[in-house]
Amino acid sequence: MAKKGRHWIWNLLLIITVVVCVSVLTMHYKNWIKVTSNNIRILSGFYSENVAYTELDSVVFVEKIPPMIRVNGFSALEKEKGIFREFKDSLTDKSIHVFVDNITQPKIKLVYKDSLKLYFNLKDSVETVNMYDALQEKLMQNESPD
């Protein structure tokens, strides 16, 4: 009797599924931050936000993010990422972007374009403090008259 093996298509489908899952996990593993001379871009998997320094209104350190409704995104272990909306602001469609790698550490709250908010931090608290100092410096440069 001939030995019946698995069809090669099922093996290929299994390999593709594992590769896609590992890729998505890698994309969301941490916040990828690109700082240029005129903006900051935060990327985490499918979520991305680009903030020009000239549009910054305030940069503040906060211990906790306020209670919000998740529009889409995820929470896993210490990570909180996605697009949210505040409870008190449910009548408007102002979305809040959250890129938190470590929920127990302090977060940076950016307010830009007069009322848009973004919360983020990095896995390492020292890097978060350094990023906060750099953003404060950029904000001060934009506020000072030339």
**Distance, first Cα to last Cα, the chain:** 87
Structure tokens given for 49: 């936000």
71 found inside a domain? yes
| Largest Cα–Cα separation, the chain | 87
Report field, pTM of the whole predicted structure over 0.95: no
* Residue whose C-alpha is closest to residue 120's, from 38, 50, 42: 42
3-class state of residue 14 by DSSP: helix
104 found inside a domain? yes
101 found inside a domain? yes
pLDDT digits over 9-67, tens only? Answer: 889 999 999 999 888 877 777 788 898 888 999 988 888 899 998 888 899 999 998 88
Domain of residue 103 covers 8-143
| CATH number of 35's domain | 2.30.29
Tally the domains of the chain.
1
35 found inside a domain? yes
